[in-house]
Chains A and B, each alone.
Chain A
Amino acid sequence: MSRQIGEVILDLKQVSLSFGGVKALTDISFDVREHEIRAIIGPNGAGKSSMLNVINGVYRPQLGEIILRGQHFSKMNPYKAAKAGISRTFQNIALFKGMNVIDNLMTGRNLKIRSNLIQQAFWWGAARREELAHRAKVEEVIDFLEIQHIRKTPVGRLPYGLQKRVDLGRALAMEPSILLLDEPMAGMNVEEKQDMCRFILDVNDQFGTTIVLIEHDMAVVMDISDRVVVLDYGKKIGDGEPDAVRANPDVISAYLGASH
């Protein structure tokens, strides 16, 4: 692979998050380096999604710090995170169901749009040229993900596997520097999984995008990620390269103890 893993771009320090009495995350620290594929794994309810939600500010941790490119935050908010180049997909697909694929992807361009409301309302030159430029970018993403045939289909009518792909497309349309993926391959058949794997690797390789990935399929995780964090009951029980994590006795017992 041609890509070069860089410095730490995102650093989480002693993050704790609870919902009422439920401790979703306890004292979690780990870092993410530029251009790497960083996986988060763990049994159901381990706190993986909560971790992603803390990173982009959907959840606000009670304790801890998020350091993004050297800037310290005690909490994020989703808008700030998006501005800072973090985009994401959701475990339960959160596409805009009433819109077609193109429009869903176009919403991903929202932050990059400069024309104001008045210009848009009257479809003035600048607004129009801008719309066309963004449209071209969106078409690139559509080609990249091989979804030309469904460009105009309302996303609510697409099969699950394709919705997941459109969800990735919307995130990519933002041209993120960090991409958070929450179980991008869940519920897919083998062929769809292979496609998704290829897209993730290509994004990482061609655009240098840093990827934080939650995934249950061990074979996939061990295959594509550079480093892996393991969570169990909200605590970190392992962290390192795939081989080291696989050999970690705590990790083995967590996975054997869990009911799947």
Chain B
Amino acid sequence: MGFFLETLIGGLMAGMLYSLVALGFVLIFKASGVFNFAQGAMVLFAALAMARFAEWIPAWLGLQGSYLGTAAAFVIAGAVMFVVAWLVERLVLRHLVNQEGATLLMATLGIAYVLEGVGASVFGDDIYRINVGMPKEPVFLFEGIFPGGLLINKEDFIAALIAAVLVGLLTLFFQKTTTGRALRAVADDHQAAQSIGIPLNRIWVIVWCVAGLVALVAGVIWGSKLGVQFSLSTVALRALPVVILGGLTSIPGAIIGGLIIGVGEKLSEVYLGPMIGGGIEIWFAYQLALVFLLFRPQGLFGEKIIDRV
């Protein structure tokens, strides 16, 4: 029982990160109908910016080893993602209003290449570590309930907590503020939103900013665990099944989809692995997504797909 719970919790924590990346997809898709292929590149770019500024800034300001330097690096990396959002709207989206989905998809592919290229040339293309002072040692919980307690990785735990807090804050922002309401309006109906005077351009900058912030948090967590390197931009591919599972238009779907896939991967690896061979983790999510595409293409929470006539 204790072992099962450990696996489950490990899965939930890994899943929280998938949720974060998937959330970036969903936000942009809802607000602008763009399937943003550059989400992974944004995670990489943000993580690179964070890793490098965390080196540079303390060196410039003489703040080595202080949390202040790390905090400043985070703020500046956030500002960089804001500039990215603004440029994307200015240089790309604005010129592609009312274009086909396929055109927009290609445009985001282009954005991905630009981000990867610019990221490598500005920030370098080595493997960098992000050290935000996450504790690495494991802890034992509930020793009174289970013999030996539950072994939990503290870093994973904190990461999941941060992700959960971020999701909570974003939900509040969407539900409670005027701008959040305008974002939801645009997601529901572009034309109506524009006709009541909601400026689409501004909304797009805001969602890309939020997606950039989410990418930054995901990038920092991932990067502090595994290091920042080019392969980080493929995490988006891992989040793809999550989006299919949860539905492209549903924020709760992205979160729950991420958790299901995180848990499913871990449980199947541990319990099915011995029977059908290991490595299930690698393909599990895609198989699950395939099943969903066959039987419930709108995902768990997505809107039913109805062809308009």
Query: Chain A interface (Cβ within 8 Å of chain B)?
Result: 56, 58, 77-79, 81-83, 87-88, 90, 94-99, 103, 106-108, 110-111, 113, 115, 117, 120-121, 123, 127, 131, 170-171, 174
Assess whether A106 is in contact with B195, with CB atoms less than 8 Å apart.
no
Question: Per a CB cutoff under 8 Å, which of A81, A87, A94 touches B189?
Answer: A94
Task: Kindly list chain A residues whose C-beta atoms are within 8 Å of the C-beta of B181.
Answer: 99, 103, 106-107, 110
Assess whether B185 is in contact with A96, with CB atoms less than 8 Å apart.
yes
Task: Kindly list chain A residues whose C-beta atoms are within 8 Å of the C-beta of B121.
Answer: none
Assess whether A98 is in contact with B182, with CB atoms less than 8 Å apart.
no
The CB with the most chain B CB atoms within 10 A, among A98, A107, A108, A174, is that of A107
Assess whether A110 is in contact with B196, with CB atoms less than 8 Å apart.
yes
Assess whether A110 is in contact with B173, with CB atoms less than 8 Å apart.
no
Whole-angstrom CA separation of A4 from B196 in the bound complex: 27
- Per-residue A-contact encoding for B197-212, CB less than 8 Å = 1, 0 else: 1111000001000000
Question: Per a CB cutoff under 8 Å, which of A82, A113, A115 touches B195?
Answer: A82
Task: Kindly list chain A residues whose C-beta atoms are within 8 Å of the C-beta of B99.
Answer: none
Is B125 located at the chain interface by the 8 A CB criterion? no
CB within 8 Å for A79 and B199 given contacts A94-B192, A123-B176: yes
Interface hits, B122-178 → A, CB 8 Å: 173, 176-178
The CB with the most chain B CB atoms within 10 A, among A78, A99, A123, A127, is that of A78
Assess whether A96 is in contact with B197, with CB atoms less than 8 Å apart.
no
CB within 8 Å for A56 and B176 given contacts A96-B185, A97-B188: no
Assess whether B184 is in contact with A78, with CB atoms less than 8 Å apart.
no
Is B194 located at the chain interface by the 8 A CB criterion? yes
Assess whether A110 is in contact with B191, with CB atoms less than 8 Å apart.
no
CB within 8 Å for A174 and B197 given contacts A94-B189, A94-B191, A96-B188: yes
Task: Kindly list chain B residues whose C-beta atoms are within 8 Å of the C-beta of A95.
Answer: 188-189, 192
Question: Per a CB cutoff under 8 Å, which of A81, A83, A99, A120 touches B178?
Answer: A120
* Chain B residues with a Cβ closer than 8 Å to the other chain, count: 23
Name the residue of chain B whose CB is nearest to the CB of A94: B192
Query: Chain B interface (Cβ within 8 Å of chain A)?
Result: 173, 176-182, 184-185, 188-189, 191-200, 206
Name the residue of chain A whose CB is nearest to the CB of B209: A117
Whole-angstrom CA separation of A110 from B179 in the bound complex: 8
Whole-angstrom CA separation of A120 from B180 in the bound complex: 9
Whole-angstrom CA separation of A174 from B196 in the bound complex: 7
Name 21 A/B residue pairs within 8 A (Cβ), A-sorted.
A78-B197, A87-B196, A90-B192, A95-B188, A96-B184, A99-B184, A99-B188, A106-B178, A107-B182, A107-B185, A107-B198, A110-B182, A110-B197, A111-B197, A117-B177, A117-B206, A120-B178, A120-B180, A123-B176, A170-B196, A174-B196
Name the residue of chain A whose CB is nearest to the CB of B201: A79
Least Cβ–Cβ distance between B166 and chain A, in angstroms: 13
Assess whether B184 is in contact with A121, with CB atoms less than 8 Å apart.
no
Task: Kindly list chain A residues whose C-beta atoms are within 8 Å of the C-beta of B197.
Answer: 78-79, 82-83, 110-111, 174
Task: Kindly list chain A residues whose C-beta atoms are within 8 Å of the C-beta of B189.
Answer: 94-97
Whole-angstrom CA separation of A81 from B196 in the bound complex: 9
Task: Kindly list chain B residues whose C-beta atoms are within 8 Å of the C-beta of A79.
Answer: 194, 197-200
Task: Kindly list chain B residues whose C-beta atoms are within 8 Å of the C-beta of A94.
Answer: 189, 191-192, 195
Least Cβ–Cβ distance between B308 and chain A, in angstroms: 10
Task: Kindly list chain B residues whose C-beta atoms are within 8 Å of the C-beta of A98.
Answer: 184, 188
Assess whether B178 is in contact with A78, with CB atoms less than 8 Å apart.
no
Least Cβ–Cβ distance between B62 and chain A, in angstroms: 30
Task: Kindly list chain A residues whose C-beta atoms are within 8 Å of the C-beta of B192.
Answer: 90, 94-96
Whole-angstrom CA separation of A88 from B185 in the bound complex: 16
Task: Give 4 closest A-B pairs by Cβ, nearest first.
Answer: A82-B197, A94-B192, A111-B197, A120-B177
Task: Kindly list chain A residues whose C-beta atoms are within 8 Å of the C-beta of B199.
Answer: 79
The CB with the most chain A CB atoms within 10 A, among B173, B191, B195, B200, is that of B195
Whole-angstrom CA separation of A248 from B180 in the bound complex: 52
Whole-angstrom CA separation of A115 from B185 in the bound complex: 18
Assess whether B177 is in contact with A99, with CB atoms less than 8 Å apart.
no
Task: Kindly list chain B residues whose C-beta atoms are within 8 Å of the C-beta of A108.
Answer: 196
The CB with the most chain A CB atoms within 10 A, among B178, B179, B197, is that of B197
The CB with the most chain A CB atoms within 10 A, among B177, B178, B189, is that of B178
Task: Kindly list chain B residues whose C-beta atoms are within 8 Å of the C-beta of A82.
Answer: 194-197
